[in-house]
A and B are shown apart, each in its own frame.
Chain A
Amino acid sequence: MWIKILIIVVLFAVVAVMLRAQGSRNLALRRISIVVFTVAAAASAIFPDVWSTMADALGVGRGTDLLLYLFIMVTLAFIAATYLHFRSVEAQITQLARRIALDEAGFPAQPGPTSDQASTGDRAETARADDLGSGQPTG
């Protein structure tokens, strides 16, 4: 019984954390989980019975079952994290490729201050009209 609650709670917690964690917090969490994993792996090597004891306490049949459940949860977390990471890398590549494309194309009418348009999007736009005359070099 307890294991069901545990699985569901951990599942949602992992997804929630993965979805919200960004930057340094994300990295720190990843490092902490590596340490926790290492300690747990070491501990179960030294005290193999600990899994059975834990399984009993949680209401799971055997220690191996508990390991399987944990494995599935960790795998799901890994998939979620990888997916999010992939998405952000993709966004970066897009910005980079757009920058290259726009720089390569140039803009005949005004060769000057056009290069920080794509990345900053709408904010750069309001400032642009004033910048036009300055002819600031782009590269």
Chain B
Amino acid sequence: MYDDTWLVVPLFNEAQVIADVITEARRTFPKIVCVDDGSGDDSAARARAAGAVVVQHPINLGQGAALQTGFSYALQDPAMQYVVTFDSDGQHQVSDAEAMVERLRQKDVDVVFGSRFLDARTKPGLLKRLVLRVATGMSNLFTRTRLTDAHNGLRALNRTALTSIQIRQNRMAHASEIVAQVAKSKLRYTEVPVHVLYTEYSRAKGQSIWNSVNILTELLYR
């Protein structure tokens, strides 16, 4: 059913949860590529045991680089029509990913971005909400797009989009870079509501809001 879809999962030190995430996702998506970005724990082995293809960076390069590696890997599969970028920490819902691929199957868009702010399911804290709003505002300004949630890791792209995108921002600014390239390549895009689950685990290790400073700097000094 989803033989034409690759789930691209950037992986960095998530040994605790990765097996569950992969097992759960594999019930729907048989093709999953985990890009292990030089994890120091046994994340890669656990992902492999759970049934994912694991591509291992010999050194840590950053999430943006991991995504591009996953894209390059998926492009090797001639049967691949769609790619979904999916977080390794269990924040994303498989059902959301499914809905996004179905949206792409309607063929009127090339890219589907997930947004936390289109419905009330996701409940980020007040500070996080504020930071995300600011980041989205900046991203819209820089990339001349109109999105409600620019830094959501859940997105789906079709083959056309994948071939015209080349992520060069190794670290965190890749989210804005993808948006910028989608806009520049005149790809058709839309947003769908997704539910991002802030678990104890993801909250404990998740991106601190300091990252917004890093993202901004990386964008300014391209």
Contact = CB atoms under 8 A, between A and B. Distances in A.
B73 A107 contact: yes
Q: By DSSP majority rule, is chain B's interface helix, strand, loop, or mixed?
A: mixed
B69 interface: yes
B78 A101 contact: no
Interface in A96-129: 97-98, 100-102, 104-105, 107, 109-110, 114, 117-118, 121-122, 125-126, 128-129
A125 B71 CA distance: 12
Interface residues of B, number: 24
Contacts of A100: 58
Interface residues of A, number: 25
B4 to A, nearest CB: 13
Contacts of B78: 110, 128-129, 132
Contact of B59 (A97, A102, A126): A97
Closest CB pairs A-B (n = 10): A118-B72, A105-B55, A122-B163, A125-B163, A107-B76, A114-B76, A98-B69, A121-B166, A101-B55, A101-B57
Contact of A94 (B61, B75, B221): B61
A109 B77 contact: yes
A91 B168 contact: yes
B194 to A, nearest CB: 27
A76 to B, nearest CB: 15
Given A102-B72, A105-B73, A132-B78, 16 more contacts: A94-B61, A97-B58, A97-B59, A97-B61, A98-B57, A98-B61, A98-B68, A101-B55, A101-B58, A102-B69, A102-B73, A105-B54, A109-B76, A109-B77, A114-B76, A125-B163
